Chains A and B, each alone.
Chain A
Amino acid sequence: MSAPTYDLGTLHGGLRLPGRKTESTRHAILNMPIPSQLILPITQHVGDPAQPIVGIGERVLKGQLIAESEGSLGAPVHASSSGKVIAIEPWPVSRRYGDTAPCIVIECDGKDEAVKRADTPINFTQLEAPDVLQKILQGGIVGLGGAVFPTAQKLMQARTCEIDHLLLNGVECESYISCDDMLMRERAGEIISGAQILMHALQIDVCFVVVESDKPDAIRRLGDVLGEISDGRIILKQVPTIYPSGGEDQLVQLVTNREVPSGGLPSDVGCLVQNVGTAAAIHDWIIDNEPLISRVTTITGDGVANPINVRARVGTTIADIIEITGGYTEQARQLIIGGPMTGKSMITDRVPLVKATNCVLVLSETPSSGPELPCIRCGDCASVCPIQLLPQQLFWYACADDEKKMRDFGLMDCIECGCCDLVCPSHIPLTADFRVAKGRIRELADEKARAARARLRFEARNDRLERERTERESELAGQKASARKAGAAAIAEILKRKQKKSEDDE
């Protein structure tokens, strides 16, 4: 069954990138064995770090809660297998900011003993929507597309808006990455089941499953599943293969032709986007009682012997995974976690696989595009920018460190997709410059906020000192007045007594 392509919106710019996905999609997803050690960062999501609730030396079971989320935004962390906690310490991680993060290290015993949970599967349709959300919150489920925003909080936020569309994002537009493709081929049923749970939790009746046209197998499998269950609310949509149409806002624009406002969220235009992997994780948690403790990751590039998709436990080190899949090739030079456009280059493979890790890319050589030349203002970058920004102009202001102009020209809306870099004939690393500039703008905003707070506190203190002074003065004045009054009365009394005495004497 093929998916109909109809009434799509338009996306500005974008690029047709070489796919390079066939290498890793030749084999089925390989299930990784239990590693000897699990390294679980307490921050695998956007928001506040989870707080460890296990001690060193404690035995933990598979699926056991080991760090619970605190604060308004966060997600808990569960043990990916049974074993003993041997350390809670900083460890190198593959985060975008900072190189190390506190991790819970578990030495696995290989028994993979799971926490006992209720045997009877829950019928989610009998649960109230808020209860479903609460349950999702406890499963440690975060957006698996790469942004790792806690899913439950995203859904809760969406429920405060008027949402009419759920979009399941199967658009894996970056080169090399194929984990969602393989997941859709092998677990289409679970993805659709997850979509049904999400629709129940949001109380909405329209769900688009959006897949790129270069994934015919995935489309066929999803189509088969949808044909079997005949749920008319879920519609499969096929979109052209253009990078970066898998970005959240871009997908909304492409599928519904609604533009997410600057600084806004898809929920502002009535849409909620979830990755297909997240939907499958929700199914695993709600139906099968397994929290988010494993994920599918693409191991690819010409630096690995066998490009393949693996299903590995969260906390397994990248080194272990690559070793089991067949190791590096001789020409392996560069390790990237994430895709070639938005990923992060790593200096060590001892980092753990986390909930965000959708791809491990090992390349033979650093793609060098040549020396950076001056901007010739050709405007190629502007024509590919999916946000319709003017990168050449932003670059100008970034060089001048003109914060106001950068804001005015929408730098904060840049999604750092890297399209402008790729087309720039002068090889200017625009995205890297914009990343730095955005950091600088955030820093300045922090500084401003800090100064404003200090000023408030200073003024409040001055007011308080002034108030205390006037209070003291008025009190003092009152005392003086009463003393003076009392003094007059006392003198009168003495005089009276004296008079009385002299009268008595007489």
Chain B
Amino acid sequence: MLTAVITITAIALIAGVGLSFASRRLPSSDGDLVDQVNDLLPQTQCAQCGYPGCQPFAAAVVDGQAAINLCPPGGEDTVRRLADLLGRDVIPLAEPVTPAIAVIDEALCIGCTHCRFACPVDAIVGAHQLMHTIIESECTGCELCVAPCPVDCISMRPLG
């Protein structure tokens, strides 16, 4: 009886010391997890989640600071995949949006270049005082270029 108790206690002690050592000294896998979460995000870099890009949002999600339903461009699918990966519950999207891309009304554009600096993926081409246009295939639909335009010549065109 006593031997058994001592043996079990000894094993528990050794395992406990080993585990606590491992958790402190070995590199945490949070970095990989952030990458994994980031891989599931649509990379629109739209900041609609309240973080300055997809990677910071991924870090916040892993940290537990951000909910998983804050990514509107990702849609319900992304929420579901994040829930799968992180073992959390599927929750409805905070603000659903329809996928769209930005379009510049080229007749109105005055070439102020403000939108060009706002675009997170460099999908706007144009030069100072010359017409700007959006590279359709590269636009992620983040809407970040809409607000800076002084003549309101950028609109969002729904896809599909």
Contact B42 A457 (CB under 8 A): no
Q: Which of B3-11, B20-28, B119-127 contacts A (4 or more CB under 8 A)?
A: B119-127
Return the chain A residue nearest B120 by Cβ: A458
Whether a CB of chain A sits under 8 angstroms from the CB of B138 is: yes
Q: A453-B138, A454-B138 are in contact. Are A460 and B122 (CB under 8 A)?
A: yes
Contact B41 A457 (CB under 8 A): no
A contact residues around B140 at 8 Å (CB): 450, 454
Return the chain A residue nearest B53 by Cβ: A458
**How many angstroms from the CA of A454 to the CA of B46 in the assembled complex?**
11
**How many angstroms from the CA of A434 to the CA of B74 in the assembled complex?**
25
Residue among B43, B120, B138 with most chain A CB within 10 A: B43
Contact B121 A458 (CB under 8 A): yes
B contact residues around A451 at 8 Å (CB): 41-43
Contact residue among A452, A454, A460, A461 (Cβ-Cβ distance under 8 Å from B44)? A454
Whether a CB of chain A sits under 8 angstroms from the CB of B54 is: yes
> Which B4-59 residues have C-beta < 8 A from chain A?
41-45, 53-54
Interface residue count for A (Cβ, 8 Å)?
11
> Which A430-459 residues have C-beta < 8 A from chain B?
447, 450-455, 457-458
**How many angstroms from the CA of A453 to the CA of B122 in the assembled complex?**
11
**How many angstroms from the CA of A452 to the CA of B41 in the assembled complex?**
10
**How many angstroms from the CA of A380 to the CA of B43 in the assembled complex?**
44
Contact B43 A455 (CB under 8 A): yes
Q: How far is the CB of A121 from chain B (nearest CB, A)?
A: 47
Contact B53 A457 (CB under 8 A): no
**How many angstroms from the CA of A461 to the CA of B44 in the assembled complex?**
13
Encoded as 1 (CB less than 8 Å from any B CB) or 0, chain A from 448 to 481 comes to 0011111101101100000000000000000000
Return the chain B residue nearest A455 by Cβ: B43
Contact-residue bracket for chain B: 10 to 19
Q: How far is the CB of A459 from chain B (nearest CB, A)?
A: 9
A contact residues around B45 at 8 Å (CB): 454, 458
Contact B43 A461 (CB under 8 A): no
**How many angstroms from the CA of A452 to the CA of B45 in the assembled complex?**
12
Q: How far is the CB of B75 from chain A (nearest CB, A)?
A: 10
B contact residues around A458 at 8 Å (CB): 43, 45, 53-54, 120-121
B contact residues around A450 at 8 Å (CB): 42-43, 140
Encoded as 1 (CB less than 8 Å from any A CB) or 0, chain B from 107 to 133 comes to 000000000000011110000000000
B contact residues around A461 at 8 Å (CB): 120-122
**How many angstroms from the CA of A105 to the CA of B42 in the assembled complex?**
43
A contact residues around B42 at 8 Å (CB): 447, 450-451, 454
A contact residues around B43 at 8 Å (CB): 450-452, 454-455, 458
A contact residues around B53 at 8 Å (CB): 458
**How many angstroms from the CA of A454 to the CA of B121 in the assembled complex?**
6
**How many angstroms from the CA of A460 to the CA of B45 in the assembled complex?**
13
> Which A120-165 residues have C-beta < 8 A from chain B?
none
Return the chain A residue nearest B117 by Cβ: A465
> Which A224-267 residues have C-beta < 8 A from chain B?
none
Contact B123 A455 (CB under 8 A): no
B contact residues around A453 at 8 Å (CB): 138
**How many angstroms from the CA of A455 to the CA of B140 in the assembled complex?**
10
**How many angstroms from the CA of A455 to the CA of B122 in the assembled complex?**
11
Q: How far is the CB of B106 from chain A (nearest CB, A)?
A: 22
Q: How far is the CB of B38 from chain A (nearest CB, A)?
A: 8
Return the chain B residue nearest A453 by Cβ: B138
Contact A457 B54 (CB under 8 A): no
Q: How far is the CB of B119 from chain A (nearest CB, A)?
A: 8
**How many angstroms from the CA of A453 to the CA of B139 in the assembled complex?**
10
**How many angstroms from the CA of A453 to the CA of B45 in the assembled complex?**
12
Return the chain B residue nearest A403 by Cβ: B81
**How many angstroms from the CA of A454 to the CA of B42 in the assembled complex?**
8
B interface residues (Cβ-Cβ under 8 A, vs A): 41-45, 53-54, 120-123, 138, 140
With contacts A454-B45, A458-B54, A458-B121 known, what are 6 further pairs, Cβ within 8 A? A447-B42, A454-B44, A454-B121, A454-B140, A457-B123, A461-B122
- 24 A-B pairs with C-beta separation under 8 A: A447-B42, A450-B42, A450-B43, A450-B140, A451-B41, A451-B43, A452-B43, A454-B42, A454-B43, A454-B44, A454-B121, A454-B140, A455-B43, A455-B54, A457-B121, A457-B122, A457-B123, A458-B43, A458-B45, A458-B53, A458-B54, A458-B121, A460-B122, A461-B121
A interface residues (Cβ-Cβ under 8 A, vs B): 447, 450-455, 457-458, 460-461
When A and B form their complex, which 5 residue pairs have the shortest distance between CB atoms, in order from nearest? Answer: A451-B43, A457-B121, A454-B43, A455-B43, A458-B45
